[in-house]
Every structure is written in C-alpha cells, then in structure tokens.
A and B are shown apart, each in its own frame.
Chain A
Amino acid sequence: MGTDLSIRNLQVSVEGKQILRGLNLEVKQGEVHALMGPNGSGKSTLAYALMGHPKYHIDDGEVFLGGESLLEMSADERARHGLFLAFQYPTAISGVTLADFLRRSISAVRYAHAGRSAEAAENGQRKSTLMPMREFRRELLQKMKDLGVDQSFARRYVNEGFSGGEKKRVEILHMAMLAPKIAILDETDSGLDIDALRTVAEGVQALIGPQLGVLLITHYQRLLNYIKPHFVHILLDGQLVESGGAELAEMLEAKGYDWVREKYAEPVALTSDSAE
C-alpha cells in the first residue's frame, strides 16, 4: 500500500493570475521525478500549492495523497500525512532554536503517525506528546553527523544568519528527521557552490528508497548528476509538455529550453519571459 501523490488537472492562480493550467502528475513512493522548466513556468507555484500555502488559490483539479484529498487539508495536516516541502528560501524564525523547532515538528508528525486525532494535540496534550529529549537528541546528532551539519546548529536560531548552503542542508536534515512519504524539493540546488551542492545532493540521495517519493524541482540539470531521476518532466506555462527519462534532462542541458518553447507554446511563448 503506497502513499502516492496524485495530481489531476490542477489549476492554480496567485493574486488573480492563473499560473498552473491543468497539471497531471503521479509520484509514487520509491520514485524520483524531476520537474524542470524555465523561470516563470510555475514550478514553485506547484510546490507551494501542494503544501497548502494560503496565497495559492486552487481554481480547479484534485490532489490525492495516499487516496486522501490533500486540498481539504491545512499545511500542518499535509505534513502529518507525510508530505514534505524543502523550501527554496527557508524563512528565519528569530529566537527559536533549530533543536526546539525540530523536536516540536517531529513530535507533531509522529504523533499523527501514531494514529491519534490532531484535535487532541490542539487541546493541550502537546506537552505530553513531545518526543523524549534523550531519544530526540540521539537521533538529531546522528542525522547531523550523516549530513555534515555542525552540532552547534542545534542551538542556533532557525535559519538566522545561515548561509545559503547551510539553509539547504538544514532543510534536508529536517526531511531526514521527518521521514516523509512524498518530498518536494524546491530548487534545492539554487545558490549552492559545487561542494555545497554535492553535500546536499548526497544527503538527499541517502534518503531515497522504496518508502520515499521525490518531486525534484530544478532549473538546471546539474543536481541530476548526483540524484538520478526515474522520470523527467518539463513544465512550460503552467502545463507539463514533455515527460521522459533521464535523457530528457540531458537534452535540456545541451539544448536549453528554447526548443521546448518553439515546439509547444505558440502565442503564449511570445509573451512569456525571455530570460533564457
């Protein structure tokens, strides 16, 4: 029984502007999907909409996670159902230590896994359901070691003063701790130098297995040198226009996005951005 992510005809708008125009995609546990596309094609919109950011308005379509309708759920419920989003720009939370955040987060998600109602957590039983400190510490220190995150980060405030690479590494650390069923990685490679990229990619690679489905959102092919996708999709103007295997990414690397534009997006392409 897999907890698969199933996206059907998803249409999303932001501040009245339609971004996703009917997107269909299946990500099964154990699969790695790369989603590529030029700037402004809607990649990050998909990531935020799937995680439930209130700014992203669902105009139409359905999304299921393990057969349950995702769109009815708040972001925290989605997390508790096994969905994870590694942010492109993780926000800083001043005064909150990474350890405290991780412990509460993990407790919230595992508590849900234990099959008790989320309502109970709301009614103040939270304290009694915090993961025991000793157990948490052991697990955190091990995972930090695995990912090459210095122990001192546990006492630092969440993302405050972290470098780009440190933020991304901590996102992957969080993912490792939460052990999601489906993980969306939003431009996890952006802003990283080659060494940081390798560390982060190896961290992700180590988590990939039959229990994890990955939707890897990336602009460039370089991350895919480290993480081999089973499927590659190209997003253009809010729709998936090409799907294939790893060879599709290589073709993009060699030829850029222009050929995709030429092939698919007649009138729209003319008005879309010309950053490439």
Chain B
Amino acid sequence: MSTAQDERVEVRAMKGEYQFGFHDADQSVFRAKKGLDRTIVEQISEIKKEPQWMRDYRLRALDIFLQKPLPTWGGNVAVIDFDDIYYYVKPTQGEGRTWEDVPENIKKTFDRLGIPEAEKKFLAGVGAQYDSEVVYHSLKEDLERLGVIFVSPDQALQEYPDLMKEYFGTIIPPEDNKFAALNTAVWSGGSFIYVPPGVKVDVPLQAYFRINSENMGQFERTMIIVDEGAQVHYVEGCTAPTYSSESLHSAVVEIICKPGSRVRYTTIQNWADNVYNLVTKRAVAYEEATMEWVDGNLGSKLTMKYPSVYMRGKGAHAEILSIAFAGHGQHQDAGGKVVHGAPHTSSIITSKSISKDGGRSSYRGLVKVTDGAKGARSKVVCDALILDKASRSDTYPVMEIDESEVSIAHEASVSRIQDEQLFYLMSRGLSETEASVMIVNGFIEPLVKELPMEYAVEMNRLIELQMEGSVG
C-alpha cells in the first residue's frame, strides 16, 4: 500500500460517513441551461460537432422519452424533476492524454479518489469522466499496437464513425425504456472499447465517473465490442458530492460478445445518497461466449439496475453477481436478467443484499428461455441479510420458460445476524461493530473473492464504512 492510498483510507476511516461528498468550485467551460428540450439536445450535438445521423438519433430519442410514461414499479421515480437538472456541463476544453493535461482542481479530485495511483499499479487503461465529459484517457501502448481501442464514445464518433454507426443503439434502442431514451437523447462521455479477434487484455481497463455539479444529470454511454476469441475486463467506479438536492445518473451500456469471447464488467457504484441511479446495461453473447456482470451497489438514493445477458449463440454462458447494500434512506432495486435464446446456454445469477437502518433492497430478476433453447441451464441464488427491524428486503423473480428440456433452479434465503455469532466474535475481543462488519463481509465473501484483489479490498472497506456508526 502506498502512502497516498493509506491517507485515503485514513480519511475515510475517521467516521462512518460518505467519504466522497466533497466538491470542487464550478469551473466548467460550458453549462447548458437547466431543463430539457430540442434546443438543448441540438446544442449538445452542435458542441460535439456530431454527424447528422447522431443528431437525428438524439432528437428521435427525445421524442420517445417525452412520450413514454415513467415506470410505476421498482423505486419512486415520480419525484424526479426533469426541469431542474443540468443535462450538459462541459468541464474542460478537451480530453487529456496525460494527467498534466488535466486542470489542476479536477486532477486533484481524481487524486483523492486514487485513480492515477491505481492506473500506475494495476490498470491497462483509464478513462476519467467529470460531469458530462471525459477529461482523461489512456491506454497502454502494447494494447494500442494490438489494435485495442479504448476511447470516449465522443472520440469514437469522430475516429471510428463506422463502428459507432453499426452498433450504436442496437443492443439498447431508445424504445427500450424511458431512461434509455433519455440517455440516447443527451448522452455524453462514457467508454468505447473494441478488442480485436483473439486479443486477450489480461489487466483491467477502468473508467471512473465523477459528478461534481449540483443538480447534475450524468448520461454516459458505453459500448464494448469484443471480437471472436478476445477477452477483456472492464471496471467502473462512481462517486459524487453530497448535495441537498438530487442528481441523476442514467447510463446506457451496450456490450457485444462475439463467438468465443469472454467479457467481464465490474461496477463498484458508490454514489452519494442524493443520486438517482437509473441505468440500463445489456450484453449480447454469441456462440460459446461468456459474459459476466459483477455489480456492486453501495451508494445512491435509488438504484434501478438489472444488468442483462441475451444469449444468442449455442453454448453461451452468462454470469451475474450482484451485491447491494441499502443503508438509511436508500433503495437498491437491483438484480439481473438472462435470456436463453439458443441451445445449451447456461447462466448463474447470484445476488447478495444487505439492508440496514431502514434501507430497502430488492432483487428483481428475469430468467427467460425461448422455445428451442434445448439443454438450457439456469441457476438463481438470492441471499438477503437484514440487519435490523426497520430494514426491508424483497425478491421479485420472474421466470418465462418456453422450452421443456431445461434445468432451472432458484434458491432464496433471508437471514439476520445471529446473536450467537456476534457473541462468539465479541468474546474473542472484537467490538460489536467489528463483529458485525466481519459477519457482513463474510456474507458477501463468495462474490468479493471474484473481484481482483484491489477491488475486493475496496469493497470490504466500503462495507466497513457503511457499517460503522450503525451498530451499538
């Protein structure tokens, strides 16, 4: 552990409070006026010097957004005031290729979040987004030479227009849901990744999303195309300042796993608890491809997110690991969807949720097997840990099975920390908080051990922070 990281740990460890709630003074170079209309969408497209087709795409999506009703299930999104949001805030003139290119105050923020440090130690590439735009991007030279592309989608639109045009919106069209339509209309920033056939990127690529402005809407767009037999692990982290008013984060992530490829997408979402996090994430997996979502949701006021995998080729495999932690005033409505659209496809969904101090966590999931997907196998395991009487956990599993030659399993459990466990640990010198943290970390261990070491440590630490001050 370096000194910089130790310092971070110390700062966070001081109290059981959100440690990323600080913000920088507004030094943005452009800020669209609040609210959403045609002019704003055209303005965004104009600033980005986009081709006509993208501008039209955005405007079409805006119409869809305005027409579609709000979802009435999941969390309460009716309270979001869409007129009170900044849809586009441009923090800098351009994207940095080195951290020296990034304005000092913004660089300092990412330093505090430990990004340049992590980049040096264990990442193959880094993207850093601040409000609406990516302010920094890097990719190791050897990967660049192998033809790997890791840029912002804005840049991809300029440099790889054909790839963007071919795939954009094909996995998640604006018609999919209201928030996907919103994202498509006002998207800005995110990641664009292409891995050529057979190339294995064996160290993670990471993107970090930071909201700085108050009443901000962040709408990054991510597209990952992994060609035949290729492999990549993408990690995203996110934090925001704590403001008294709400912010909105509504991303769209589209992933294409070509035959025989292997993709892992890891999220450690740690938004401040004034952020609405309404995200659509979907992957398509072709023959013998493996798609894995590792989805950790610790922050936000409300998260609605169900990463999904559509298995369209024989022998494709999907894995979704979901960890949700709902503390005071938080609602984590998370889960996953798998669609078995080809024979001998297999999927595993594992969900672990923790609710405390009146927090609410829900598992919402779908297992769908289409007619003809013979030999499909699916297993869903949902475990909930409820730490006190004020907290709540629900499960909403849906199964649509249109094929008879399948194997489907579903297990669910709800537990509480047992007095005997607490007493046993305390009798060996651990305080009540330490003992609870240990039990909770043990509860999510089967998922955390799937994470690269650095993220596993981070996850355990975040859980510890969530737990501190809550017990005893």
Interface status of A127 (Cβ within 8 A of chain B): yes
Tell me, in angstroms, the Cα distance from A101 to B427 when the chains sit together.
12
Known: A54-B419, A95-B446. A74 touches B438 (CB 8 A): no
The one of B419, B432, B444 that contacts A76, using a Cβ cutoff of 8 Å: B432
Binding-face segment, B7-15, B158-166, B339-347, B386-394:
B7-15
Contact A52 B427 (CB under 8 A): yes
Binding-face segment, A3-11, A116-124, A144-152, A212-220:
A116-124
Contacts of B9 in A (CB 8 A): 127
Contact A76 B426 (CB under 8 A): yes
Contact B468 A104 (CB under 8 A): no
Tell me, in angstroms, the Cα distance from A80 to B427 when the chains sit together.
9
Complex interface bits, B230-241 against A, C-beta within 8 A gives 1, otherwise 0: 000000000000
Known: A95-B443, A123-B14. A104 touches B438 (CB 8 A): yes
Which residues between 136 and 164 of chain A lie within 8 Å of chain B, taking CB atoms? 157
Which residues between 413 and 436 of chain B lie within 8 Å of chain A, taking CB atoms? 418-421, 423-435
Contact A124 B468 (CB under 8 A): yes
Interface status of A93 (Cβ within 8 A of chain B): yes
Contact B429 A109 (CB under 8 A): yes
Contacts of B198 in A (CB 8 A): none
Contacts of A105 in B (CB 8 A): 425, 428-430
Contacts of A104 in B (CB 8 A): 430, 434, 438
Interface status of A225 (Cβ within 8 A of chain B): no
Complex interface bits, A197-227 against B, C-beta within 8 A gives 1, otherwise 0: 0000000000000000000000000000000
The one of B10, B15, B425, B444 that contacts A101, using a Cβ cutoff of 8 Å: B425
Closest-CB distance, B266 to chain A (whole angstroms)? 19
Interface status of B441 (Cβ within 8 A of chain A): yes
Closest-CB distance, A157 to chain B (whole angstroms)? 7
Contacts of A126 in B (CB 8 A): 13, 434
Contact B427 A51 (CB under 8 A): yes
Tell me, in angstroms, the Cα distance from A118 to B433 when the chains sit together.
13
Interface status of A257 (Cβ within 8 A of chain B): no
Closest-CB distance, B15 to chain A (whole angstroms)? 7
Binding-face segment, A27-35, A84-92, A265-273:
A84-92
Interface status of B156 (Cβ within 8 A of chain A): no
Interface status of B445 (Cβ within 8 A of chain A): yes
Complex interface bits, A53-96 against B, C-beta within 8 A gives 1, otherwise 0: 11100000000000000000011101110001101001101111
Contact A174 B443 (CB under 8 A): no
Contact B444 A95 (CB under 8 A): yes
Tell me, in angstroms, the Cα distance from A52 to B9 when the chains sit together.
33
Complex interface bits, B1-25 against A, C-beta within 8 A gives 1, otherwise 0: 0000000011001110000000000
Known: A54-B419, A90-B424. A74 touches B432 (CB 8 A): yes
Contacts of A85 in B (CB 8 A): 427
Tell me, in angstroms, the Cα distance from A85 to B423 when the chains sit together.
11
Contact A157 B421 (CB under 8 A): no
Interface status of A36 (Cβ within 8 A of chain B): no
Interface size class, chain A? 35 or more
Contact A174 B13 (CB under 8 A): no
Interface status of A232 (Cβ within 8 A of chain B): no
The one of A94, A101, A122 that contacts B431, using a Cβ cutoff of 8 Å: A122
Contacts of B14 in A (CB 8 A): 123-124
Contacts of B434 in A (CB 8 A): 104, 108, 126
Contact A108 B432 (CB under 8 A): no
Interface status of A248 (Cβ within 8 A of chain B): no
Contacts of A95 in B (CB 8 A): 441-446
Interface status of B401 (Cβ within 8 A of chain A): no
Interface status of A236 (Cβ within 8 A of chain B): no
Which residues between 303 and 343 of chain B lie within 8 Å of chain A, taking CB atoms? none
Contacts of B423 in A (CB 8 A): 51-54, 75
Interface status of B439 (Cβ within 8 A of chain A): yes
Tell me, in angstroms, the Cα distance from A54 to B423 when the chains sit together.
8
Contacts of B421 in A (CB 8 A): 91, 93
Minimal Cβ-Cβ distance residue in B for A92:
B421
Tell me, in angstroms, the Cα distance from A127 to B12 when the chains sit together.
12
Contact A127 B13 (CB under 8 A): yes
Complex interface bits, B192-205 against A, C-beta within 8 A gives 1, otherwise 0: 00000000000000
Contacts of B427 in A (CB 8 A): 51-52, 75-76, 78-79, 84-85, 87
Minimal Cβ-Cβ distance residue in B for A75:
B426
Minimal Cβ-Cβ distance residue in A for B448:
A95
Contacts of A122 in B (CB 8 A): 431, 433
Contacts of A91 in B (CB 8 A): 418, 420-421, 424
Contacts of B429 in A (CB 8 A): 76, 79-80, 105-106, 108-109, 112, 178
Contact B441 A118 (CB under 8 A): no
Minimal Cβ-Cβ distance residue in B for A121:
B431
Contact A93 B438 (CB under 8 A): yes
Contacts of B444 in A (CB 8 A): 95
Tell me, in angstroms, the Cα distance from A94 to B433 when the chains sit together.
17
Contact A74 B443 (CB under 8 A): no
Contacts of A101 in B (CB 8 A): 425, 428, 438
Tell me, in angstroms, the Cα distance from A276 to B442 when the chains sit together.
41
Contacts of B418 in A (CB 8 A): 91
Contact A93 B424 (CB under 8 A): yes
Tell me, in angstroms, the Cα distance from A96 to B424 when the chains sit together.
13
Tell me, in angstroms, the Cα distance from A91 to B420 when the chains sit together.
7
Minimal Cβ-Cβ distance residue in A for B469:
A122
Contact B439 A96 (CB under 8 A): yes
Tell me, in angstroms, the Cα distance from A100 to B439 when the chains sit together.
12
Tell me, in angstroms, the Cα distance from A146 to B249 when the chains sit together.
57
Complex interface bits, B67-95 against A, C-beta within 8 A gives 1, otherwise 0: 00000000000000000000000000000
Tell me, in angstroms, the Cα distance from A104 to B438 when the chains sit together.
10
Tell me, in angstroms, the Cα distance from A100 to B434 when the chains sit together.
12
Closest-CB distance, B325 to chain A (whole angstroms)? 15
Contact A157 B442 (CB under 8 A): yes
Tell me, in angstroms, the Cα distance from A157 to B441 when the chains sit together.
12
Tell me, in angstroms, the Cα distance from A178 to B427 when the chains sit together.
11
Contact A96 B15 (CB under 8 A): no
Name B residues whose Cβ lies closer than 8 Å to a Cβ of A. Answer: 9-10, 13-15, 418-421, 423-435, 438-439, 441-446, 468
Lowest 9 A-B CB distances belong to which pairs? A95-B442, A95-B445, A124-B13, A108-B429, A96-B442, A79-B429, A75-B426, A105-B428, A109-B429
Offer 23 A-B interface pairs, CB within 8 angstroms, sorted by A.
A53-B423, A54-B423, A75-B423, A76-B427, A76-B429, A85-B427, A90-B424, A93-B421, A93-B424, A93-B425, A93-B439, A94-B443, A94-B445, A95-B441, A95-B442, A96-B442, A101-B428, A104-B430, A105-B430, A108-B430, A108-B434, A124-B13, A127-B13
Given contacts A94-B443, A105-B425, 18 further A-B contacts (CB under 8 A): A51-B423, A53-B423, A54-B423, A76-B426, A87-B427, A96-B438, A96-B445, A100-B438, A104-B434, A105-B430, A106-B429, A108-B428, A108-B431, A109-B428, A112-B429, A124-B13, A124-B14, A178-B429
